[in-house]
Structure 1
Amino acid sequence: MAAIETMELFGRPNVKVFAERPASIGELLAASVNLYADKDAVVTEQRTLSYSELDKESTILAANLQQQGVKKGDRVGAVIGNCAEFPVVVFACAKAGAIMVPINVKLQVEELQYIIGHSKPALLITEAEYAEKVSEAVEQNEFQQSDRPQLFIIGGSNSYEELLNADAPFQQTQIDEQDGAFILYTSGTTGRPKGAVLAHINAVHSVMNYKKRFETDETMKTIVAVPMFHVTGLVGQLLHMFYIGGTVYSMKRYQNEAYIQLILKHQINFLFNVPTIFIMMSTSAEFQKHSFGFVRKVAFGGSPIYQQTFQMLKQAFPNAQLHNAYGATETTSPATLMPTGYPISKVTSVGLPVDVADIKIVDSEGYTVPPGESGELYIKGPMIIKEYWDNPAANQSSFTDGYWHSGDLGIMDTDGYVYIRDRKKDMINRGGEKIFSIEVEDALKSHPDVVEAAVIGEPDPVFGEKVKAFVVGPKLDPNDLDGLKAHCKKTLAKFKVPEEFVLIDSLPRNASGKILKNTLKETGGRSNA
């Protein structure tokens, strides 16, 4: 049993922490390099890096970042998908004391512009296929010349290879575990994303929580098919595997047949995905032809798991322990995890709070409710983010006495198992991609013929939810709404663009003028059509 003590963390008193822990992400890697130097750490479609190669290349990159003037605390933006360079940048930033800003590669120029302008990176690294929109986003920010980030392109003209000059001297940087390691941007209720600052101590505790609860070890092999720039791919898989000495196989883009073949070829024994991927995989004839008895761990999170999906997983992976997981960017991945050997009666639960978490369910007045009663989850622990980057208002409103307000409604039973019932936040969850409706509504309202718009999540058998928009616009042609979709595509990532548009005369409202989205969900807008 790992010893637990308490400490003051980020000014929050009495936070439970593991007494023995790596001091930083860099130390986490160093420990595995000592044990597994020649073992494959990451295997991508282009190249393979052993633990010692990952360590060496990330140190070289860290030295070159320093040569470019990157100092401790500076941000390094990364518009990089699932490839070998991603973990190299992760550890290079960690060693140099820089804060890595992994940016969703699916974002459009306007979205990139905000994140780059807000985080103010000293340097940007991007894959060649995203270079044009990243460059345009930099231009639109109109940086002063001294603040303008230099852009390095993986496989491009201003080549990332310039940052791999082995002659550059590396200056050892003193890293404190409370220093920021990443800024992950997550959608905000104001329509602007918030930059969640994940410190070294946050990531370290999360990987320790995964190892302890899932009982993972160095024999684990996983496929990262979810994006590495999301907290699950980054922490739940990449850093988790590097902590235990496992091997990561990477997919640039998820494809059913290729994913299944990869599992079979490498005898992958640890799968961690949003339920959508498991559902899509189960529909494949190729999947149904094979036995997957070698799979030992199956974890899922990011969107609700349904009873029929659970039964499918149990049948498909007969020898695997199935683990539901609940967390958020702000909890550095897991806040609750299913233990091994849980009772079958708990399958719809998201598990028990991780060992270092304090979770309470509170009512609208902030008072803790008894077991079995619904309320909002307040979460405290060493995995809770340090802060929101340059956002005093969000920092003020999102934390109370060291507890982060999750915005999720749930219950905790008498055994301590947590069940998520609904989301307090007005958010749509499309296959694990979080979409705040206000962001889509703002894009729609910028169309000259749109008077009003309301966006909801519509149930979808594959993605869990899809985006549905109700639009008021007398000048719009109800038989030709393709122009609205094209308009949204200009400023929104593809997964945020509504898949269905309904033209209505007016939006339903209550006496205070608030739009009644539940009415829209129930009626489909028919009463106003």
Structure 2
Amino acid sequence: MSPLSELAHKVRAQLTAPGAPFEMVEVNVDGRSVRAYRNAFPTLPALIASGRAHGAKPFIRYQGEAWTFDRFFAEADAVAAQLRAWGVQPGERVAIAMRNRPEWAVVFAAAALIGAVPAPLNSFGLGEELHAALDDVEPRVFACDAERLARIGGDTRVADCRILCVGEAEMPAGITDYRIAATRAAEPVSSPALGPDDPALILFTSGATSRAKGVLSSQRAVCQALFNIDYIGALSGMTSPEAVAALMAKGLPPTTLTAVPLFHVSGLHAQLLSALRNGRQLVFVSRWDPAQALEVIREERITQFNGAPSMVMQLLAQPGFDDPTQTGTLAGLGFGGAGLPQRLIDEVMQRRPNSLSGIGFGLTETNGVGAAASGALFAYQPRSSGLTSPIVDVRIADADGQPLPPCEQGEIWLRGVTVMQGYWRNPEATAAAMSDGWFRTGDVGYLDEEGFLFVVDRIKDVINRCGEKIAAAEVESCLLHQPDVLEAAVFAVPDEETGEAVVAVVSVREGSGLDAHALRAHVGAHLAAYKVPAVVQVLTDALPRNPAGKLLKGQLRKAFVDAAQG
């Protein structure tokens, strides 16, 4: 074991020892004993309310407007009072669909503070996708912006569901204007009595099915995951003292550029809720634009940017990124997901040496908890996804579910206090994904002898485009709704700008007249723009299948890549 790895394990033992800030205890979850942080908040309302202590400190900046913690909580209390006036009870759902903006965060906090279950929806979704999610969660309230309201035609199609809308124009009849609800003075809400196993949050994940699944997490799972982010920060700081000293010497308040969507764990847990708890500042942008991001970094003196690897690559490619007057405040870059492209690793190591850059691996189903490394640990093993967290067990499983020894590849299974309670109203999918408390991730990887996790492949048929997960089956299903489409195979190919691009190979009825343009337009009319295939290859021959009738996507992908390279 290297000296740095030895130091990391020593620091971990120190941080988690009895009486230490991250002391471990055993708790019972579903009849199983699992490790947990003793000092984590017990419930999400308690965690959110702790942010009141930050008072007049700046919290969120958005389009030139500054929100202090005081203003944020004044509006959250007002919206919470409105939710209660509408009769929203603990455990009932409040759905949210907006671009990143302060009001998104306000509604989330207001719902959580009264014990309701926030259910953030994918704001990129079109009407059909939003209606499907609303039908799943059956919210008492749907909070949205004007664009999302238009997409659902002004109607949630859910009985007795109120709509709270953020917008500049006058609201249609029956729609409550956020500005009216949020500006009524209200006393801080008193949170209901909640237990650790009560529901706290529903987040949607694409997964490998044709319809997004809601992931239900308990109060304890969410709070433990958020405390784990603090642990990762402490471990990084204690193993990268030079980088921390350099950041401290600049005297800048920690400020994160939030460009990833708030409906993902990477935006919600690691940025919004972590900043709310710790009194840090966030700068929201509603859309990803690398040129604009560079301007925001300079103007807002950003110290941290976390995003999908493709977003970081686009940022690094901007003219002026290496100019200290442009990005001199930036102390670290963070990447979510699995192994990074070697080109990106090389560029970060060369252009941001001795920084607090890092990587994390986690899933919606584990509230983002899995493995992480930043600073010196990331520089030591940049191809890995980091060291596993203290509150998660990792099993590298063979085809029979049996554990494999270090350095042997298998499916990554995770078990621990932050794992979901299940897929919302979908016991079949839950049973397929869970085994005796273990969540089967669908990712292939291995643990090395020092405890670093390496993710090398995916079992699930999921495409990762700019950090957005796209279920191939969902796009295939959409294509097959065209009567003249006989077969459809959708898969990923590497792409320098987006990480992975969506490609479809489609067999159509002879004489149909369907072409690539028409098929892309068809998908664009039903699914979010980022799910539309970059390339559609139209054939009149049958697609290749194995003797069992399964589509040979690997063969199609290889043929496509070979043709593109030739």
TM-score tier, shorter chain, comes to over 0.9
Q: Within the alignment, does 1:6 sit opposite 2:26 as a pair? A: yes
Q: Pairwise mapping of residues 389-428 of structure 1 onto structure 2 (< 5 A)?
A: 389-428=424-463
Q: Pairwise mapping of residues 314-333 of structure 1 onto structure 2 (< 5 A)?
A: 314-333=349-368
Check conservation: 1:376, 1:409, Cα contact below 8 A: yes
Larger displacement relative to structure 2 (381-390 or 215-224): 215-224
Structure 2 match to 1:506: 542
Structure 2 match to 1:25: 44
Q: What SS class does the counterpart of residue 338 from structure 1 fall into?
A: strand
Cα distance in structure 1, aligned partners of 2:300 and 2:351: 18
**Residues 167 and 295 (structure 1), Cα distance of their counterparts in 2 relative to 1, 3 Å cut:** closer
Q: What SS class does the counterpart of residue 139 from structure 2 fall into?
A: coil
Structure 2 match to 1:437: 472
Cα displacement string for residues 124-176 of structure 1 (whole angstroms, at most 9, x for unaligned residues): 111012211123562xx4x4xxx231212112513122322535674542232
Q: CA deviation at 1:458?
A: 1.2
Structure 1 unpaired stretches of 5+: none
**Residues 428 and 439 (structure 1), Cα distance of their counterparts in 2 relative to 1, 3 Å cut:** same
**Residues 329 and 224 (structure 1), Cα distance of their counterparts in 2 relative to 1, 3 Å cut:** same
TM-score, normalization: structure 2?
Answer: 0.87
Q: Pairwise mapping of residues 63-462 of structure 1 onto structure 2 (< 5 A)?
A: 63-135=81-153, 138=156, 141=157, 143=158, 147-155=159-167, 156=169, 157=171, 158=175, 159-164=177-182, 166=184, 170=189, 172-215=191-234, 219-290=253-324, 292-302=327-337, 304-342=339-377, 344-462=379-497
Cα displacement string for residues 74-109 of structure 1 (whole angstroms, at most 9, x for unaligned residues): 111111111110111111011111111111111111
Structure 2 match to 1:37: 55
Cα displacement string for residues 41-61 of structure 1 (whole angstroms, at most 9, x for unaligned residues): 111115322122222221221
Cα distance in structure 2, aligned partners of 1:332 and 1:270: 21
Cα displacement string for residues 392-451 of structure 1 (whole angstroms, at most 9, x for unaligned residues): 112212111211111111011111111001111011111111011110000000112101
Aligned residues between the structures: 519
Q: Within the alignment, does 1:518 sit opposite 2:554 as a pair? A: yes
Q: Pairwise mapping of residues 474-493 of structure 1 onto structure 2 (< 5 A)?
A: 474-475=509-510, 480-493=515-528
Cα distance in structure 1, aligned partners of 2:42 and 2:393: 22
Check conservation: 1:295, 1:319, Cα contact below 8 A: no
Cα distance in structure 1, aligned partners of 2:482 and 2:472: 16
Structure 2 match to 1:15: 34
Structure 1 match to 2:78: 60
**Residues 65 and 163 (structure 1), Cα distance of their counterparts in 2 relative to 1, 3 Å cut:** same
Q: What SS class does the counterpart of residue 124 from structure 1 fall into?
A: strand
Larger displacement relative to structure 2 (373-382 or 53-62): 53-62
Check conservation: 1:471, 1:502, Cα contact below 8 A: yes
Residue identity opposite 1:456 in structure 2: F
**Residues 354 and 476 (structure 1), Cα distance of their counterparts in 2 relative to 1, 3 Å cut:** farther
Q: CA deviation at 1:12?
A: 4.6
**Residues 67 and 308 (structure 1), Cα distance of their counterparts in 2 relative to 1, 3 Å cut:** same
**Residues 468 and 288 (structure 1), Cα distance of their counterparts in 2 relative to 1, 3 Å cut:** same
**Residues 303 and 498 (structure 1), Cα distance of their counterparts in 2 relative to 1, 3 Å cut:** farther
Identity, % of aligned pairs?
Answer: 28
TM-score, normalization: structure 1?
Answer: 0.93
**Residues 239 and 167 (structure 1), Cα distance of their counterparts in 2 relative to 1, 3 Å cut:** closer
Structure 2 unpaired stretches of 5+: 1-14, 16-21, 238-243, 245-251
Q: CA deviation at 1:295?
A: 2.5
Check conservation: 1:12, 1:402, Cα contact below 8 A: no
Cα displacement string for residues 361-406 of structure 1 (whole angstroms, at most 9, x for unaligned residues): 0011010011111111110122211221111112212111211111
Check conservation: 1:293, 1:320, Cα contact below 8 A: no
Cα distance in structure 1, aligned partners of 2:44 and 2:191: 14
Residue identity opposite 2:123 in structure 1: V
Cα distance in structure 2, aligned partners of 1:162 and 1:451: 52
**Residues 451 and 137 (structure 1), Cα distance of their counterparts in 2 relative to 1, 3 Å cut:** farther
Cα distance in structure 1, aligned partners of 2:232 and 2:483: 52
Check conservation: 1:104, 1:229, Cα contact below 8 A: yes
